[in-house]
Amino acid sequence: MPRILLPAQWHTLRLNVADSILDEIPELQQINDVNPGTQSWTQVEGQEDCSMLSALVNGVLPPTPDRSKAYFRLQSVHLSSTGELIGFLAVYHGFPKEDIFWINALTFAPKFQGQGYGPELLLGLSDIVRQLGSYTCMRSYVALNNVHSLKLCVKTGFNKMVEIAGEKENSGIDETHILIEKTLS
């Protein structure tokens, strides 16, 4: 089955989501930099530049032989009421298998956190991905110590733990992540 991609623009009740553009990079970088849980998502093996500009231009691609920037999307999240840029979503269509929709990152500027935008965005995204018909589930890694993200995922139907991944030796830094999944049926 071919991979069908997210629309370039879509919306929820209070949010407009659209493919990110170059003019938004400074704001996107600032949102990324102030959220400790999202700073490392742009790191790709063999790629020195881990900036939002690099993510937009080159994509953040999985370590698979068939990876393609065509399957990566960086989308900006704006308030419908004001047009203000409040966050971003990064996804990959078809990783680690073609029928899995991968969420690289989802984050909001601190002043917009805790206002219900995360659940609204994830539920809207789930509906769209389900309608695309190419994917059996959605997956993402969530840091074990990121309680807010874990609660958000559980609240929006990510109820299957696929694996726990982390450092093999205790480095003093909690690098443990849970791979979570939401079945799309």
pLDDT tens, 116-172? Answer: 999 999 999 999 999 999 999 999 998 888 888 899 999 999 999 999 987 655 555
DSSP secondary structure letters along 81-146: TT--EEEEEEEEES-SSTTEEEEEEEEE-GGGTTSSHHHHHHHHHHHHHHHH-S-SEEEEEEETT-
Of the pLDDT bands very low, low, confident and very high (cuts 50, 70, 90), residue 85 is very high
Q: What superfamily in CATH does domain 9-137 come from? A: Gcn5-related N-acetyltransferase (GNAT) (3.40.630.30)
Instruction: Please tell me the predicted confidence (pLDDT) of residue 170.
Output: 54
Q: What is the pLDDT of residue 51?
A: 87
pLDDT of residue 143: 85
**Over the stretch 47-72, which tens digit does the pLDDT of each residue have?**
455 689 999 999 989 888 889 999 99
H helix or E strand, kind and range, residue 179: strand 177-183
